[in-house]
Structure 1
Amino acid sequence: MEKIQSTVQLRRYLAELAAYRGGLAITLVLMLGVGLLEGMGLLLLLPLLGLVGFSGSSDHPVAEGLRRLFDMLGLPLTLPVLLGLFVGLIGAKLLLAYWRDLRTTRLRLGFIDHLRNRLFRRIAFTEWLFFSLTRAADFTHVLTSEVQRIGQGTYQVLQLSANGALAASYLVVAIGVSPLFTGVALLFGVAMMLPLRRIQRRTVELGGGLTRTQRLLFAASGELLGGMKAAKAHGAEEWHVAQFARHAEGQRQAQLDFQRLYGLARVGYQWGAAAVLALLVWWAVKSGRLPAAELLVLIAIFSRLAPMLSGLQQGYQQILHMLPAYAAFRAMETACEEAAEPPVGTLAPPPFRQGLCLEGIVFRYRKESPRPVIAGVDLQIPARATVALVGPSGGGKSTLADLIAGLLAPDAGHISVDGMRLEGGLRRAWRRRVAYVPQETFLLHDTVRANLLWAAPEADEAALARALRLAAAERFVAALPEGIDTLVGERGVRLSGGERQRIALARALLQEPELLILDEATSALDTENERAIQAAIDELHGSLTLLVIAHRLSTIHRADRIVVLEKGRVVEEGAWPELAERRGGRLRRMIEDIPPENTESMS
């Protein structure tokens, strides 16, 4: 079964390489040209040996054919002419080999870029649900390590093609010199290949092991680099280092196992080839069947051919070792294709003048989960209203916001905007009208300006300044060393948590959305900045639709409508005065749990 799978993967890979428009045909022609010139150079050895005194070479059919060719061209068959032609053929072969190698490198690099860019595009346009449930290190592993291994395998395929063309030219010349000698040598060569079949199966197994260990190594490094602050806070550095070292050892062992197998196969094949060549030379000398000139030519040919055939075997072994990497690439690409978002095409975002309606919304992150995260939610969000989502952690607030934003599709029920259901490409088109400030702020390793323009590339200076002012970020940005052109560091590490959130809010406002979703957007702010952003939100009231998710009730008491969510269900909704006074109500209990000193801002 494993052999069948590896054969299928090899066929798929070769078909994909052949279909790539990177000049493969021209490269193959150059390879054949180099092989042809190499063979022509070897053919000249027979008349050359005859001219320097080796008997029998001048009477060989090959030498006779060359003599007739020279007579047709009007060239004398002399030593200077033959040597000049030999040097010319070598020069032409080297030039063709240079162009061949250049084309081969360009083809290999282009093919790898093609695969990597194609997969990256597939990842970029997958559904958010699939992406959120897949480990980021798994994407990185395939995009880097596995694609790099495919590149190494592609190099071996192209080298195998080039060496195969040369080997074919050598065999043609050898058959022309002595069919019997060459035929016996080929029979021995085929016999030596048979024991290598078990090695080939083991090679595929070791390639799969390398794929698994590298995936674990990427995961171990990603976990530490993504959670460095927590690791340091908990003193868990040694644990992460030990995990990484264990997987690095596994990768090292997998590579050593393959190198051991690869080296043994090379030693066995080359040693056997040398023994066969020695045996055949002994037989030819003892039998006296070959003139000295022909024997010297055959020795020259097979002394080159033996390591070349060994190289073909080793190249094939490297290709088999690469196949699990290609299988991992195809598996990831197939998974991304199956999870692809519906295309938008020419669909325009639906108008948002009346409101957004959720009817019977049910959602699970995993289909096999017994309890849904969102369980039968019905909700109306009028256009240009401010709606707040509150409730305990894990109640489904962020998930409901993702559904409203069009990032997730419900398992049951419908979401409509002005009567148009957000289904298929329309759900993705709807996101053009939405800006989202999530709990975890994402910033590029670039300047403040670049982070703002990432959302609205055409924005001018006035728009940037207005967005910063509305997000209460104008003053702190102006105080940065380079102002708006200050580098914020990877994920905004040079800024405080509150500063990062304000940059993210300014970026969202720069998009001029019709629906702005704030998911705990003020959670990292001090009281002063929270009041500044709250004033900005109050200023936006009525000009766009606001969906605010918050634990701190001080940020939502001015909302037009408050929705309390528990265990994925709407348990209470209404205006602040109504819910705050409702006896036994959920919101009232939440207010009563707030310490007295923190209730001033809600007055």
Structure 2
Amino acid sequence: MQEPIESAGDWRELIASIHRYAGRRLPVAILVVTIASVLEGIGLVMLLPISQLVFASETRPGSLSAKMDVQLNAWGFDQVIEKMALLCAIFLVVMLVRSVVLIHRDRRMALLTQGYVDYLRSRLFATIAYADWPVIRRMQRADLLNNMTTNIARISVAIQFLTRLLVTVTLVAAYVVSGFVVSPAIGLILLGVIALATATALVWSRRSGRLGETLSLRNRKVMNWTTRFLEGLKAAKVYGAETVFIGGFDAAIADTRAISIDFATQQGRMRRAIELLGAAAAVALLMIGYGLVGLKGAELLVMGAVIIRLVPTLSTALSGLQSVAFALPAYAVAERLRRDMERQRPNGREIDQPPARFDATPYPISLRDVTVTTREEGAEKTLLSAAHIDIPATGLVHVGGPSGAGKSTLAELLAGLYLPSAGTVVAGPLALTASQCPAWQARIAFAPQEPFLFDGSVRENLCWPNLAPSDAALWDALATAGAKDLVADLPEGLDHSIRDGGSRLSGGERQRLCLARTLLRPSAILIIDEATSAVDAALEAEIFERLRTLAETKCIICISHSTALNAMADYRIVIAEDGVAGGSV
């Protein structure tokens, strides 16, 4: 079950995370936002003396308009038209500068916002990529996909609203200062209105956070149904069970829709409440300004303009606060996943660590008192035990045993996906430890049970991840894997596009292409984990005969139920049902 989310701590962590990413760019961005808001306030205040001149109204002694009128007279601007021309010119210059600053502000905030979201996305992606295989094995695919897609998208929305919140808060401050410039009493009333609206929004933000936390759980359920649907669609069509997927998915998205509607309704209520509060404040300000403070027509006009600008800005700010609180649980869930995975990564290969140098020297592999354990559902489980196994430096090695005994665990151990929980695995100068695992894996080529192909050409798939072999080498690998005729018959040969992860190919065809890719990788140890299980027996035997020739210069370890491979192997490892492995020539 998902742990409860602590809102205040997540707010602090989110802001601290943004600060760590932005560095010096953050105070610069805040400065630009503040300058833009100050210019907005100056523009509003300048409307006061301009309006005073337009309406030819009397100014209050000591007011801003009166002081500016005295100063303009001192500068030699005696005529009303001269004063108006100068003030309008200054106003236009202020608005021009404000426009330039706003363009700069919007671009800077967009770069900061999108850059931070991409930073989070890339960091989570890298954390998953560098996580230990046992940790990934325990994760649900739906959880990983939900965090990499839905939660990141919600975080993006939260950051956008957070930047808008920063902008609108500075604007609100500018409007309040404008109110104080006109009259301290007016400024205090504006502060009171803002304080009351903010207190109400903070109370509602707690409910927004709870709604956001519930939405995170419901989105996880939607992703579970999505992955289940994509993985089981073929079987569902055979059984006529499409409605099972449709019903489950519809119910899941109905839950998320209900939460989103609930939040939108709350947002609407808050906006209407702020509008009513603003209307009441406008009436109060006009009555107090005219009846008690003695504001004149132009001053009342400017105050009306301030209120008209303040209310929607305040509504935007407080709606943004709700939106951030609503999306904040997505950040908490994604960060929790990332931290859990990082905490479980040993002191081995780190992110951005350069690849180890490939050593092609064949060494015998020695396993002594090895156990491989993992934690599943809070309990420790032993996956494999091997007291004494010596695998030759070269030759064809067959690994057999009943299904589920631990054959794939042995393959994944020798591929460096698992580290021994106890005992030692040694090949020449290398021991399979956290610190030497990168150097160990630099000597490995691995064909796992599940064939992996992506949308791209045959050539791109064969050269993945970073190979650049010649066409001759590609065709040689395809021939060894029994896939040469398959590719030659494709309309564009090596450049033919493989779509939908190779779903239009048979299981055996996908396996042979993946085996060819494995053969292209420079290696001293080649591990094939049932990578020919979908190939017919005759073709499989041909592939094993070719592999036996390659085994003269490297160690080829094949996990297979094939009796033909067992007969031709130079060394055999048998794993019993209890996971105990033993070897023999």
How does the TM-score come out when normalised to structure 1? 0.89
Matched letter for residue 523 of structure 1: S
Hey, what's the Cα distance between the residues in 2 that align with 1:419 and 1:287? 91
Give identity over the alignment, percent: 31
After TM superposition, the structure 1 = structure 2 runs for residues 60-139 of structure 1, keeping only pairs within 5 Å, are 60-67=62-69, 70=72, 78-139=83-144
> 8 Å contact 1:352–1:417 — kept in the other structure?
no
Q: 1:460 aligns with which of 453, 470, 473?
A: 470
CA distance in 2, matches of 1:569, 1:16: 45
Equivalent residues of 1:354, 1:382 under 8 A apart: yes
Structure 1 residues 61 and 565: alpha-carbon distance in aligned structure 2, compared to 1, 3 A threshold: same
Partner of 1:444: 454
Deviation for aligned residue 1:489: 1.6
Q: Spell out, residue by residue over 1:192-239, the C-alpha distance to the aligned partner (whole angstroms, 9 max, x if none).
A: 443444312111100101111111111210111123223323333221
- Provide the C-alpha distance between the structure 2 equivalents of 1:455 and 1:286, rounded to a whole number of angstroms: 78
Shift of 1:25: 3.3
What is the match of residue 36 of structure 2? 34
Aligned partner of 1:43 in structure 2 is 45
- Amino acid across the alignment from 1:381: I
Classify 1:3/1:33 alpha carbon distance in 2 versus 1 (closer, same or farther; 3 Å): farther
Alpha carbons 1:153, 1:318 under 8 Å: kept: yes
8 A Cα contact 2:176 2:190, kept in partner: no
Alpha-carbon separation, structure 1, partners of 2:526 and 2:74 = 86
Q: Residue 432 in 1 paired to residue 442 in 2?
A: yes
What residue is the counterpart of 2:340 in the other structure? 335
- Of the candidates 569, 572, 584, which is equivalent to residue 562 of structure 1? 572
Asked if structure 1 preserves the Cα contact closer than 8 Å seen for 2:360 and 2:523, the reply is no
SS across alignment from 1:227: helix
SS in 2 for 1:393: coil
AA at the equivalent of 2:503 = V
Deviation at 1:554, TM superposition (A): 1.6
Seen in structure 2, the aligned counterparts of structure 1 residues 86 and 389 have a Cα distance that, compared at 3 Å, is same
Comparing 120-129 with 184-193, which one deviates more in the overlay? 184-193
Decide which moves more: 191-200 or 204-213: 191-200
Contact 1:452 1:507 in 2 (8 A): yes
Q: Which runs of 5+ in 1 are unaligned?
A: 576-603
Query: 1: CA distance between counterparts of 2:387 and 2:140?
Result: 29
Residue 475 in structure 1 maps to residue 485 in structure 2: yes
Residue in 2 aligned with 1:293? 298
Q: Distance in 2 between matches of 1:340 and 1:5?
A: 25
Q: Tell me the secondary structure at the aligned position of residue 369 of structure 2.
A: strand
Query: How many Å apart are 1:572 and its aligned residue?
Result: 5.7
Measure, in 2, the Cα distance between the counterparts of 1:568 and 1:402.
18
Change over 3 Å in CA distance of 1:357–1:350 after alignment to 2: farther
Mapped to 1, the partners of 2:197 and 2:126 lie a distance apart of 46
For the structure 1 residues 410 and 63, does the alpha-carbon distance in structure 2 shift closer, same or farther, using more than 3 Å as the test? same
Provide, for residues 349-399 of structure 1, a one-character-per-residue CA deviation record: whole Å limited to 9, x for no partner. Answer: 677533111112222332654652213443110100221111111111111
Q: Which of 217, 225, 233 is the equivalent residue of 1:220?
A: 225
- CA drift at 1:99: 2.2
Report what 1:396 is aligned to: 406
Q: What residue identity is the alignment partner of 1:247? A: A
What is the aligned partner in structure 1 of residue 176 from structure 2? 171
C-alpha separation in 1, matches of 2:50 and 2:465:
74
Larger displacement relative to structure 2 (367-376 or 413-422) = 367-376
Q: Distance in 1 between matches of 2:56 and 2:142?
A: 67
* One-letter identity of the residue aligned with 1:66: M
Worse overlay, 204-213 or 305-314: 305-314
What CA distance in whole angstroms lies between the structure 1 residues aligned with 2:357 and 2:427?
A: 13
CA distance in 2, matches of 1:234, 1:144: 31
Matches within 5 A, 1:181-330: 181-287=186-292, 289-330=294-335
Structure 1 residue aligned with 2:382: 372
> What is the DSSP-based 3-state SS (H/G/I as helix, E as strand, rest coil) of the residue aligned with 1:425?
coil
**Counterpart position of 1:420:** 430
Matched residue type, 1:14:
I
Out of 148, 160, 164, the position equivalent to 1:155 is: 160
> Could you tell me how far apart the structure 2 residues matched to 1:104 and 1:571 are?
59
1: CA distance, partners of 2:343 / 2:13: 19
Higher deviation after alignment, 446-455 or 375-384: 375-384
1:530-541, aligned counterparts within 5 Å? 530-541=540-551
Question: Secondary structure, in 3 states, of the residue corresponding to 1:44?
Answer: helix
> Given the alignment of the two structures, is residue 11 of structure 1 paired with residue 16 of structure 2, yes or no?
no
What is the rounded CA distance, in whole Å, between the counterparts of 1:3 and 1:215 in structure 2? 15
Give unmatched runs, 5+ long, in structure 2.
none
Q: Deviations over 1:89-112 (max 9, x none)?
A: 223322322221122222211111
Change (3 A) 1:88 1:572: closer
Q: 1:3 to 1:224 in 2, by over 3 A?
A: closer
Q: How is 1:539-558 mapped onto 2 (pairs within 5 angstroms)? A: 539-558=549-568
Q: Which residue of 2 aligns with 1:496?
A: 506
SS at structure 2 position matched to 1:14: helix
Aligned to 1:578: none
1:407 aligned residue (409, 417, 424): 417
Give the Cα separation in 2 of the matches to 1:288 and 1:164: 27
Name the amino acid aligned to 1:138.
D
Segment drifting more, 66-75 vs 41-50: 66-75
